[in-house]
Structure 1
Amino acid sequence: MTDAAELTAELIRCPSVTPEEAGALTLLADRLRAAGFEVSRPDRNGIPNLFARWGAKGAARSFGFNGHTDVVPPGNLGSWTHPPFSGHLDEDGMIWGRGATDMKSGVAAFVSAAIDFVTETPPTDGAVILTITGDEEGAGRDGTTAILDWMDAQGEAMDVCIVGEPSNPATFGEMMKIGRRGSVTYRVTATGVQGHAAYPSRVRNPLHALCRFLDQLASAPLDAGTDHFDPSGLQVTTVDCGNAASNVVPERATAVFNIRFNDLHTPESLDADLQARAAAVSAETGVTITLVPDVSGMAFVTQPGPFVDLVRGVVEAETGVQPILSTSGGTSDARFVKDHCPVVEFGLVGRFMHEVDERVPADQVRALKRVYQRILTEYFA
């Protein structure tokens, strides 16, 4: 039997800060090959990735897992109670280190579950597929997307997939994600006419126009939410003009805002509305406002049905808690997997992710492994 907690600690000891592989995927590849998985490394542009399949290519049924072994930087090493890449197991049963929560534990749980499942009760007509990247915490352009592109070229496919990201706010079993909001970041530039602050008739103040535009956006709700999504939200994250003089009206001012949008919107529909608002403020003020969007994810939802019911039922059976079906939180690689097959997210409690002294209960990692292995057993039953 594979101990998911021990594997978590081993993975933590690989200092795989994005985009460094640091031995994490090599460790997993060796374990999976020993269990009979076919393993490939569809790396792209220097980003490390791993694909592993047990069972026949093109099998009648294929169940997939997705996760990442890259982690965010540990920050000030002196602030950690235990070294961030020690994988220390303390007397209270906590595993310490960067990636303990997000998400080497989740990867260790589904890798352990998959190995034990195909060893103990191998399906006769199915395949188990694992997709693991080293680029989730980074730009994400050559991580899961590269694996999926490689799979498409090789004729590999998952019928359904679980992303093992932490999904529970406080209690293990309380929440699973069946979708995510979309995300788009806008960089705004307002260009006016510079001049002396004492002569307002000679200037066109870009800050006044920019503030008017941002206030319009922040004051009007985008929507009231949908059946599966909370209302979309817009947050201004920075405003700047680089002006050190109090008696000079600057020529240019910039701002950045982010929109997390639900399935009532698309990037195209949002952009059309925002460009129209910017044009109206420009016409009123004589200040040119330009908007440059950067879309990092589309809103999506995996509709409740047999797959969602299977995962939800197993979680409730193993934890005694019926998980809420949620679309909350930020983005994850589920935004890429959803274009390949139906996808849900279920993992650990995310309390300590990205924090100094990141840690996870070893027993919870083992419990997550049991959930994943039971899902595999019931899916292929």
Structure 2
Amino acid sequence: MSKLIDEIRFTQELIKKPSVTPKDLGAMNVVVKHLKKLGFKCKLMSFQEKGTDKIINLYAKYGNQSPNLCFAGHTDVVPAGDVSSWSTNPFGAKIKKGYLYGRGVSDMKGGIGCFIAAVSQFLKENKNFKGSISFLITGDEESVAINGTKKVVEYLKKKKEKIDFCIVGEPSNRSKLGQMMKIGRRGSITTHLTVIGKQGHIAYPLEALNPATPIIKILDELKSKALDKGNKNFQPSNLEITKISIDNSADNVIPAKASATFNIRYNTLHTFSSLKKYISKIIKKYEKKYKCKTQTQFQGTGTAFLTKPNQTVKKIQSIIKKETKQNTVLSTIGGTSDARFIKDIAPCIEFGLVGNTMHQVDERSSIKDMKKLKSIYLKIIKSFFN
């Protein structure tokens, strides 16, 4: 067994690989190098669909017995943005006033560093534990997520690989470590709507068909009607209009087309199919009323899911509370994560660093928090295998 992995130095090494999605630039090799030294068998997988970038992914495993505890995360990061606005090199991994700075430190290279450091200490102290530990690491979380965890999960299904529980190291806390553990996520459906009318002179509206009128009516009804009141584990589903567009350069011309895009973040009271049906019904109503034509495209990036607070979830919550002295809330708020794919093969929770600077200039994580997170992960591992 090699010497213990230090979570800070490991994370610094990872940050220095500028793996802006979808580029890897050696980030996955850093993970593989350290896991192989710990005795993990590493399976690198590359996936690419037509018109997309090739993505490098990793499934690594130590041991063959059950139960299998998996840690999941991603090495890709969002762009640094205006580098001149940073107080340090975004890929320099500098420590300043008790914080480690760098693009991806909180989302989520720091999480990877903490759980690999925790595993290295566990294996040093528990060489003959009964079970196995695995890592599912992708390079395609911040982008379209087509060739990443989704494909790895499909591979694991075919191989009949069993994962008994998974911890996703996403930054789950907003301002203090221990505030929140995520046990589910809302689903997401985006609708691209185009209403087709008939172009004409604004002085002769009866000889034209203005698409602006029906699209406004459609959006008004969709936005004004509450989808639900939420439930025990989820906030109410919510619709937000993100784009309204009429391409018209003249002020005296009724346009031929009007377009809009809107997204619904929905809870477990709905499905992609039920919302698609609901939206289509409203569109058809106004299509018939105004005798216009419509074109609709639906995109789903994840379905709503919930990991029920079973004994394992409650144990983890108890460990976090004890270590952080925070009232750790079980939550389902936020956007999407790769947990939306992993939940198809294993119950999973999300717990990681504080994320209030993720995707921002001067992204940073507290050194104290990183050491505490490593300690929490270590206690979770010990509890799981006991």
Q: Residues 96-143 of structure 1: CA distance to partner in whole angstroms, max 9, x if unpaired?
A: 110011110011111111122112213532000110000000110111
Aligned residue for 2:306?
Answer: 301
Does 1:5 find its partner at 2:12?
no
Indicate if the aligned counterparts of 2:243 and 2:260 stay in contact, CA closer than 8 A: yes
Within 5 Å, give how 1:2-151 maps onto structure 2.
2-45=5-48, 46-56=54-64, 59-90=65-96, 92-151=97-156
Does 1:238 find its partner at 2:246?
no
Within 5 Å, give how 1:1-381 maps onto structure 2.
1-45=4-48, 46-56=54-64, 59-90=65-96, 92-381=97-386
Indicate if the aligned counterparts of 2:183 and 2:349 stay in contact, CA closer than 8 A: yes
SS state at 1:101 partner: helix
Number of residue equivalences: 378
CA distance in 1, matches of 2:103, 2:289: 51
CA distance in 2, matches of 1:33, 1:60: 21
Q: Deviation at 1:287?
A: 1.6
Aligned residue for 2:51?
Answer: none
Q: CA RMSD in A?
A: 1.0
Q: Residues 13-68 of structure 1: CA distance to partner in whole angstroms, max 9, x if unpaired?
A: 00001111111110110111011111110221120111111111xx2211011000
SS state at 1:360 partner: strand
CA distance in 1, matches of 2:309, 2:93: 37
Indicate if the aligned counterparts of 1:35 and 1:119 stay in contact, CA closer than 8 A: no
**Percent of aligned pairs with the same residue?**
40
SS state at 1:8 partner: helix
SS state at 2:230 partner: coil
SS state at 2:68 partner: strand
Indicate if the aligned counterparts of 2:165 and 2:348 stay in contact, CA closer than 8 A: yes
Q: Deviation at 1:150?
A: 2.0
CA distance in 1, matches of 2:104, 2:228: 36
Indicate if the aligned counterparts of 1:42 and 1:146 stay in contact, CA closer than 8 A: no
Q: Residues 156-199 of structure 1: CA distance to partner in whole angstroms, max 9, x if unpaired?
A: 22100010000011111010000000001100000011100111
Aligned residue type for 1:130: F
Aligned residue type for 2:67: R
CA distance in 1, matches of 2:236, 2:307: 18
Aligned residue type for 1:341: A
SS state at 1:137 partner: coil
CA distance in 1, matches of 2:224, 2:350: 33
Distance 1:304 1:203, change over 3 A: same
Indicate if the aligned counterparts of 2:157 and 2:345 stay in contact, CA closer than 8 A: no
Q: Deviation at 1:233?
A: 0.2
Aligned residue type for 1:186: T
CA distance in 2, matches of 1:244, 1:96: 47
Aligned residue type for 2:130: D
The 10-residue stretch of structure 1 (2-11 or 337-346) with the greater mean CA deviation from structure 2: 2-11
SS state at 1:9 partner: helix
CA distance in 2, matches of 1:124, 1:111: 17
Aligned residue type for 2:302: G
SS state at 1:295 partner: strand
Q: Deviation at 1:259?
A: 0.4
Indicate if the aligned counterparts of 2:268 and 2:305 stay in contact, CA closer than 8 A: yes
Indicate if the aligned counterparts of 1:12 and 1:97 stay in contact, CA closer than 8 A: yes
* TM-score of the two chains, using structure 2 as the length reference: 0.96
Aligned residue type for 1:53: K
The 10-residue stretch of structure 1 (284-293 or 167-176) with the greater mean CA deviation from structure 2: 284-293
Unaligned runs of 5+ in 1: none
CA distance in 1, matches of 2:191, 2:348: 28
